[in-house]
Amino acid sequence: MGGFSLVEMIAVLGIIIVVLGIMFITLQPALRDALMLLRAARQRAIADRKRYIVVFGQPAPTGAPVPLGAPNPSSIQVFRWDVAQPVSPAPVQISTIDLPYDIQFQVLSGIPTGAVPDGFGNGSVAIDFDQGVGAGRTNLVMFLPDGSAHDLLGNLNNGILYLARNGDLYSSKAITVFGSTGRVRGWRLVSQAGAATWIEQ
């Protein structure tokens, strides 16, 4: 008498499924857009024979060798950096994408730290480029005309970044970049036999 009817239960389950579907749909485009932006910057560097810099979220630290505007913490920006003699001009911003309001660059508690995508970092930093380079900027990648990924100091730039929705471990996605080739790979976190595991997209 005081319980729920079967129709009411089915209606509530239907609403929950729709809400979960909407949440999943907002994260997939964020990963796809970030992957496409990186790959497009690399291709443009090769085609245009110019340097393209992709900056992720964090503001530029003081003393940066190249002024890169004022990045939004939830955006990805692309700059073209022409070469000229005797001094190259400042980089020119050519595009920006903003992450959906509920997606952030972040590492959530519970991601596997012993088996990170492509072995880059230890899963403790959301934007972690310039692997093994102490003085480099960890929030950007510069693609050169040969397709390779470097930092602003000229070092090969391997790295990883993580995207996730607050409090949702299995919404976690990752993108890795190999410095020597500029190869960009996408990853998602899944549960396999009860363990959080990264698989390539």
Q: Identify the CATH number of the domain in which residue 74 sits.
A: 3.55.40.10
Q: How far apart are the C-alpha atoms of 112 and 102, rounded to whole Å?
A: 22
- Confirm whether 54 is domain-assigned: yes
For 26, 114, 132, 140, 199, the CA distances from 164, given in Å and listed in that order, are 11, 19, 25, 19, 15
DSSP H or E stretch at residue 26: helix 6-48
Chain position carrying tokens 């972690």: 128
Nearest Cα residue to 144 out of 136, 152, 132: 152
- Confirm whether 1 is domain-assigned: no
The whole-number pLDDT of residue 132 equals: 67
Confidence of residue 144 (pLDDT cuts 50, 70, 90): very high
Whether the pTM exceeds 0.85: the reply is: no
Work out the average pLDDT over 102-119: 87
Q: Which domain, by its residues, includes 53?
A: 6-200
pLDDT 10s digits, 31-84? 778 888 888 999 999 999 999 999 888 654 444 444 555 556 678 888 998 887
- Confirm whether 165 is domain-assigned: yes
Contact by Cβ (8 Å): 15, 9: no
- Confirm whether 72 is domain-assigned: yes
Q: Two tokens at 196?
A: 């959080």
Q: Two tokens at 63?
A: 């003393």
The whole-number pLDDT of residue 146 equals: 94
pLDDT 10s digits, 122-142? 888 888 887 766 666 778 899
Domain count, the chain: 1
pLDDT 10s digits, 165-197? 888 999 899 999 999 999 999 999 998 888 899
The whole-number pLDDT of residue 44 equals: 92
For 12, 144, 164, 169, 184, the CA distances from 16, given in Å and listed in that order, are 6, 47, 20, 18, 34
- Confirm whether 169 is domain-assigned: yes
The whole-number pLDDT of residue 29 equals: 65
**Ramachandran class of 160: left when φ > 0, alpha when ψ lies in -120 to 50, beta otherwise:** beta
- Confirm whether 71 is domain-assigned: yes
The whole-number pLDDT of residue 32 equals: 79
The whole-number pLDDT of residue 60 equals: 47
- Confirm whether 179 is domain-assigned: yes
The whole-number pLDDT of residue 91 equals: 85
